[in-house]
Structure 1
Amino acid sequence: MAYQLQNEQLGVKIAELGEVYRGTRFDGAGFITSVELNGRHQFCVPESLMPGSGTGGIGLCSEFGIKEAIGYEETRVGERFPKLGVGLLTRPDEAEYRFYREYACARFETQVEQKSAQQICFTTQPADCRGYAVRMFKNIEISGNQLSVTYTVENTGSRVISTDEYSHNFLGIDGYAVGPDYVLKLPFAPKIWSDEPDTLEGLVFEGDHVTWERRPEKDFYFRMDTFDGRETPWLWELRHRPSGLTVRELSKLPLSSAAVWGHGHVISPEMFVAVHVAPGERQSWTRTYGFSKSKAE
């Protein structure tokens, strides 16, 4: 049964460990599968609408080290390497690390404490792997129409932890398909590019706005200039114009990169934070989301 947070405006469901997601990509602690506003409006969707396809992502779920796993290059075939939020993974062969590949996994031990109807905390215990070891805390809390997720990475090992983290933000408002009714607003007019130009087809970029000509029939993806999110009032805003429903990420983060991925039912802004923690030290950051409904356009 899912954990739940509830106040007068928000209802949040958080999956129990291993209940919904059993893969080796996303952080299984604090896996937010549903955010409901005013008892009726839904914001979270699965990565794929086809059963059994995709990686199993849903809602607000984070990942560490999408491009490069900690210590992977020095890991011999058959040895383990750490994937924060997941466990110690086994390197099966000489191939490069791939975030979408499933690996044999010895999962980290995690304790859960529901402190109130508005707050829950997940504590993931360290497991030493050739000097890499991390204790991680994830505190999830709601207040009014805002949801906050605070991450704390504590290096309990003897080697530096260097990786990154982002929340995949699988968003689709009240089941409305992606298309001209949606607008993604950014705090400035960014420079946009993609390694695969065809992933930009059907997207319309107008200053600080991104819209869609039609419902996408394939994945779309683009990157943008990195910006210091501590100096902007918010990082991004996704609005469904006919309903007036909006979700905005209000986080104050020193971003290391930024991108947007999606498909015909899902839009996922991805804001990355560099994680660099020396032995005996900690690093903390908070992601905050605001959910609202205003007059339709």
Structure 2
Amino acid sequence: MFCLTLSLWAFQRSESFPEATISNGLITAKLYVPDAEKGYYRAERFDWSGVITDLQYRGHSFFGPWFDTHDPKVNDAITGPVEEFVAIGYAAANPGETFLKIGVGALRKKDTTAYRFYHSYENTNPGHWTTRVGKDEVTFVHELSDAAGYSYHYEKTVRLLPNKPVLVLEHRLKNTGTKTIQTNVYNHNFFVLDRQPTGPDCRVTFPFALQTQGETQGLGTLAAVEGNTWRFLKELGPGESTQVFLTGFGTTAKDYHLRVENKSVGVTVTGDQPLSRIVCWAKRTTFCPEPYIPIKAEPGKEFRWNIQYTFFAKK
């Protein structure tokens, strides 16, 4: 699924990028700040905001680089619980016209082939980003006007709750244009738990019986889906990856409840919207449950959603 060549956390940062650090006394998190000229991530796949490069709790780490080398223009060179909005208006656009990626900008369609997240597209209108940094929270604001006919005001706040090992992603998308904004968004959750390799100690548990759907990669040799759990059969080696599409969830937000863990630490992830899709993908250096939700905002209306991460340590 990803094109980067990986080894086990050989990444060394050679550049400095705009960043912010927040803490609530229990958790300390370092985030990169969106910047169209100097930002850590300037590619076209993921929302530029909320990129957590490091999160520490009780001496344990939960996010970080999972790749060998970094290039701000590589679509997958990003870290933390980052989000991708499914492209809007791509099918209707002619080659040379633009389509919308929320949190990125207006991108130019190259040809008549289907949209491919691993391809680069010219960002003709990246909009305007502002960032407000507090002691225990960061708010990112993206204003975009006349992007493939769409306009919006998008806010994401990364907040650490007082006296709790909890991080919340708070989102508000206001449609300031004349076209309805309707798509799906998911969090890729690039978990890097204590920099341990993906293997039998790693698992993700859901609150419902899992069913696989469509094509799979590495299922039965590298990973397994058993009952309500996605787990790994061996320690993944360099170049090995596994992917599975999952269903079995219901129509309410109660099924957006994941327990992600290895032998030393874990995270409980909950959302306040119903699921529309689940993809699970892993390589040696990261394992990623990817829950999707549908979003819709009519002109003049707004859509809000939250995702909460509760961190715990076993040792």
8 A contact 2:236–2:283 mirrored in 1:
yes
Residues 45, 119 of structure 1: alpha-carbon distance in 2 compared, 3 angstrom cutoff: closer
2:172 equivalent in structure 1: 152
* 199, 204, 210: which one aligns with 2:224: 204
Matches within 5 A, 1:28-107: 28-38=48-58, 40-49=59-68, 55-65=76-86, 69-105=87-123, 106-107=125-126
* 250, 255, 262: which one aligns with 1:240: 262
Please say if 1:111 is aligned against 2:134. Answer: no
Residues 159, 56 of structure 1: alpha-carbon distance in 2 compared, 3 angstrom cutoff: same
The alpha-carbon deviation at position 54 of structure 1 amounts to 6.8
The alpha-carbon deviation at position 50 of structure 1 amounts to 5.0
Q: Which TM-score applies when normalising by structure 1?
A: 0.90
The C-alpha deviation readout for 1:225-283, integer Å capped at 9, x for no partner, is: 13345224x62111112x2x111102222111112111112110101011111111110
1:9 equivalent in structure 2: 26
3-state SS of the aligned residue for 1:174? Answer: helix
* 158, 161, 164: which one aligns with 2:184: 164
The alpha-carbon deviation at position 46 of structure 1 amounts to 3.0
Residues 97, 54 of structure 1: alpha-carbon distance in 2 compared, 3 angstrom cutoff: closer
Determine the C-alpha separation between the residues in 1 that align with 2:154 and 2:220. 37
3-state SS of the aligned residue for 1:153? Answer: strand
3-state SS of the aligned residue for 1:165? Answer: strand
Please say if 1:231 is aligned against 2:231. Answer: no
The alpha-carbon deviation at position 211 of structure 1 amounts to 2.1
Identity over the aligned pairs, expressed in percent?
25
The letter of the residue matching 2:292 is F
Residues 205, 30 of structure 1: alpha-carbon distance in 2 compared, 3 angstrom cutoff: closer
In the alignment, structure 1 segments of 5+ residues that lack a partner are none
In the alignment, structure 2 segments of 5+ residues that lack a partner are 1-17
Determine the C-alpha separation between the residues in 1 that align with 2:99 and 2:267. 36
State which drifts further: 145-154 or 73-82: 73-82
Residues 132, 280 of structure 1: alpha-carbon distance in 2 compared, 3 angstrom cutoff: same
1:273 equivalent in structure 2: 293
Q: Which TM-score applies when normalising by structure 2?
A: 0.85
The C-alpha deviation readout for 1:49-102, integer Å capped at 9, x for no partner, is: 35567721211111100xxx2111221222222210001111122222111111
The C-alpha deviation readout for 1:123-146, integer Å capped at 9, x for no partner, is: 111211353111111111001200
Aligned length: 287
